[in-house]
């Protein structure tokens, strides 16, 4: 007997027929003697509609009411899927976050899970009942409904799997696994059989939108065996294998680079003639961080005459205006000449734990980009990742070039 947490995303529960298909899959797992916890997202598009309604009602909405509105999508899908399971002859009931409860902090809109009381769920599972849990939602210390941030059902599923010490956490989505690059752009991209938590974490935060970043962090720290697979292929009990997200030790033949990702959600700001004196970086990035603007890549030139230098950094595109406003407000105090924004940039990254033990990975990246005449604007690296900022128009070209350069193309 295995205990499995299976999460179904919005496109997997987009209509009743898809829910009936899921019920068939779940039924076969139950008949095989397994205990099943199902976590559902809202039906495709519903959360977006709810967010839009909340914004329309009041652009400066009370975040507690926002959460009670947007959490309702999962209430509907958990109830509907329970009905479909019952219809298929499977004992099932829905659970809202507050009924379990899934306790979170009070940061509405992006709450963190503090703990899950698994007692009632364990009891129902032992009575052979399928527990259909509304993802994305929890309960605050003030007894209000919270949500975990967009894509948060992944985190609900992983947190439950960790709390229950489940044998597996399967994330069913509309892609059949994690790819070496975006298959819509790089047609030679391959599905990875296995990927490490760390690589998945980098890829998730770099824009590969398969899993919510926080769910991967949680899986890594609790060593939850994760699998990403499609609910569209091979349903009816014969699901095709997806991608396993595992610890590094579990991958025998590690590639040097596992994936090439991109993010267009980037903007670059260059501050011209920043006075070159101690404390100036703190004076620039302090106010930005106080305004909740996340700064990602940073380059600073060394000043020749020792008194002024240019400083370039990147922020999320949606935060460009806010960042410029903050900078403008402290311009005279900082004493820079001008700020030059550029929002037509993209970040391209190569990711792989194999980088730790192999030399020449960066060289290959720079050579491949040079060969295609792509200019690098900013570079940043971590132990298992190299990122470059380039003009957005070269995104596709760069992805394809790097995918080939690292030998990732399917043969």
Least distance between Mg ion and beta carbon 151 (Å)? 4
Least distance between Mg ion and beta carbon 209 (Å)? 7
Structure tokens at 136: 């994305």
- Name which of ligand ASP, Mg ion, none residue 34 binds, using a CB cut-off of 5 to 8 Å depending on partner kind: none
State which residue, 73 or 151, has the beta carbon closest to Mg ion.
151
Least distance between ligand ASP and beta carbon 81 (Å)? 14
Least distance between ligand ASP and beta carbon 42 (Å)? 4
- Phi then psi for 159, rounded to 5 degrees? -65, -40
CB half-sphere exposure, 340, CA atoms < 13 A: 9
Beta bridge partners of 117: none
State which residue, 75 or 303, has the beta carbon closest to ligand ASP.
75
Question: Strand order of the sheet with strand 35-40?
Answer: 92-95, 130-134, 35-40, 3-8, 168-173, 226-230, 243-246, 194-196
Least distance between ligand ASP and beta carbon 14 (Å)? 12
In angstroms, rounded to a whole number, what is the distance separating the alpha carbons of residues 28 and 406? Answer: 41
- Name which of Mg ion, ligand ASP, none residue 150 binds, using a CB cut-off of 5 to 8 Å depending on partner kind: ligand ASP
State which residue, 146 or 314, has the beta carbon closest to Mg ion.
146
Strands 385-391, 338-351: pairing is antiparallel
Task: Check if the beta carbon of residue 241 is closer than 8 Å to that of residue 29.
Answer: no
- The site for ligand ASP (CB under 6 A) is made up of 9-10, 41-42, 47, 73, 135-136, 150-154
State which residue, 39 or 390, has the beta carbon closest to Mg ion.
39
- Name which of Mg ion, ligand ASP, none residue 73 binds, using a CB cut-off of 5 to 8 Å depending on partner kind: ligand ASP
State which residue, 158 or 377, has the beta carbon closest to ligand ASP.
158
- Name which of ligand ASP, Mg ion, none residue 213 binds, using a CB cut-off of 5 to 8 Å depending on partner kind: none
The residue with its CB nearest to Mg ion is: 151
In angstroms, rounded to a whole number, what is the distance separating the alpha carbons of residues 230 and 126? Answer: 28
CA 87 to chain centre: 34
Q: Is there binding between residue 9 and Mg ion (CB under 5 A)?
A: yes
In angstroms, rounded to a whole number, what is the distance separating the alpha carbons of residues 57 and 65? Answer: 11
Among 209, 208, 177, CA closest to 194: 177
Least distance between ligand ASP and beta carbon 189 (Å)? 24
In angstroms, rounded to a whole number, what is the distance separating the alpha carbons of residues 371 and 347? Answer: 18
In angstroms, rounded to a whole number, what is the distance separating the alpha carbons of residues 139 and 234? Answer: 36
- Name which of Mg ion, ligand ASP, none residue 394 binds, using a CB cut-off of 5 to 8 Å depending on partner kind: none
- Name which of Mg ion, ligand ASP, none residue 61 binds, using a CB cut-off of 5 to 8 Å depending on partner kind: none
Provide the 3-class DSSP secondary structure of residue 249: helix
Strands 35-40, 130-134: pairing is parallel
Q: Is there binding between residue 242 and Mg ion (CB under 5 A)?
A: no
State which residue, 150 or 317, has the beta carbon closest to ligand ASP.
150
Structure tokens at 2: 């295995």
Q: Is there binding between residue 151 and Mg ion (CB under 5 A)?
A: yes
Residue numbers of the site for Mg ion (CB under 5 A)? Answer: 9, 151
């Amino acid at each position: 007997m295995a205990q499995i947490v299976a999460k179904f995303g919005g496109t997997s529960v987009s209509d009743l027929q898809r829910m009936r298909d899921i019920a068939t899959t779940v039924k076969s797992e139950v008949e095989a003697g397994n205990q099943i916890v199902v976590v559902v997202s809202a039906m495709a598009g519903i959360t977006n509609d709810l967010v839009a309604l909340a914004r329309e009602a009041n652009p400066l909405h009370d975040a507690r009411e926002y959460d009670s509105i947007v959490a309702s999508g999962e209430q509907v899908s958990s109830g509907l899927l329970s009905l479909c399971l019952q219809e298929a002859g499977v004992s099932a009931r829905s659970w809202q976050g507050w009924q379990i409860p899934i306790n979170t902090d009070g940061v509405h809109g992006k709450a963190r899970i503090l703990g899950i009381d698994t007692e009632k769920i364990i009891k129902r599972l032992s009575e052979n009942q399928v527990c259909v849990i509304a993802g994305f939602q929890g309960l605050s210390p003030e007894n209000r409904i919270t949500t975990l941030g967009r894509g948060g059902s992944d985190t609900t599923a992983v947190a439950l799997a960790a709390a229950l010490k489940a044998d597996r956490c399967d994330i069913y989505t509309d892609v059949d696994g994690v790819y070496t690059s975006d298959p819509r752009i790089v047609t030679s991209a391959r599905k990875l059989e296995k990927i490490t938590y760390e690589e998945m974490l980098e890829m998730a935060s770099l824009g590969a939108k398969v899993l919510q970043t926080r769910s991967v962090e949680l899986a890594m720290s609790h060593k939850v065996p994760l699998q990403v697979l499609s609910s569209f292929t091979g349903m009816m009990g014969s699901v095709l294998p997806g991608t396993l997200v595992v610890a590094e030790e579990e991958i025998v033949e590690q590639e040097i680079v596992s994936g090439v990702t991109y993010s267009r959600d980037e903007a670059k700001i260059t501050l011209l003639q920043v006075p070159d004196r101690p404390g100036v970086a703190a004076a620039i990035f302090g106010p930005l961080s106080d305004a909740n603007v996340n700064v990602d890549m940073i380059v600073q030139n060394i000043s020749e005459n020792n008194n002024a230098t240019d400083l370039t950094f990147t922020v999320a595109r949606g935060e460009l205006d806010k960042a410029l406003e903050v900078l403008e407000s402290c311009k005279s105090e900082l004493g820079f000449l001008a700020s030059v924004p550029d929002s037509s940039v993209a970040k391209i990254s190569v990711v792989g734990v194999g980088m730790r033990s192999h030399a020449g990975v960066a060289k290959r990246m720079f050579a491949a980009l040079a060969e295609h005449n792509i200019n690098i604007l900013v570079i940043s690296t971590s132990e298992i990742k190299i990122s470059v900022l380039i003009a957005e128009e070269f995104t596709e070209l760069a992805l394809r070039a790097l995918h080939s350069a690292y030998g990732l193309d399917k043969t």
